[in-house]
Amino acid sequence: MKKLIIIISLLFFISCSKTPYDNKDVLEEKVFIEILTDIQKSQALVNSKADTSQDIRNLRLKTYNEEVLKKHKIKKEQYNKSVEYYTSDPNKFSKILEEVVKNLNKDVS
């Protein structure tokens, strides 16, 4: 949960300096929420394996995130543009993150 808060904070800071992209390159909000949910799950999985070095955890996280994008048939560039687009509106991004948290809580229950 701490990492989620850190990510949210960083994305808000980034959003202050970005302008929105043309919507043709931006993922639909529902798809973006699903991807963020899966990325948070992969991060939790990596963090749960505390028996490995930080370098190995970073490599696992990168690999898992690539697999998440592959699962959703999304290119990294499209994901990055979507992050920049949605973080350019802090209110909208906050609502997206609330949905991600709801999804994660559903999976835990």
pLDDT of residue 79: 94
- Cα–Cα dist 14/22, whole Å: 18
**Separation CA 73–CA 108 (nearest Å):** 25
Residue positions counted in the chain: 109
pTM of the entire predicted model: 0.75
Domain range annotation of the chain: 32-108
**Which pLDDT belongs to residue 4?**
58
Q: What are the Cα distances from residue 39, in Å, to 21, 69, 101?
A: 22, 9, 12
Give the pLDDT confidence score for residue 107 in this predicted structure: 77
pLDDT bin (cut points 50, 70, 90) of residue 53 is confident
Q: What is the tens place of the pLDDT at every residue in 80-100?
A: 999 999 999 999 999 999 999
Contact 61, 43 (CB under 8 A): yes
| Residue type at 95 in one-letter notation | K
pLDDT band at 28 (very low <50, low <70, confident <90, very high): very high
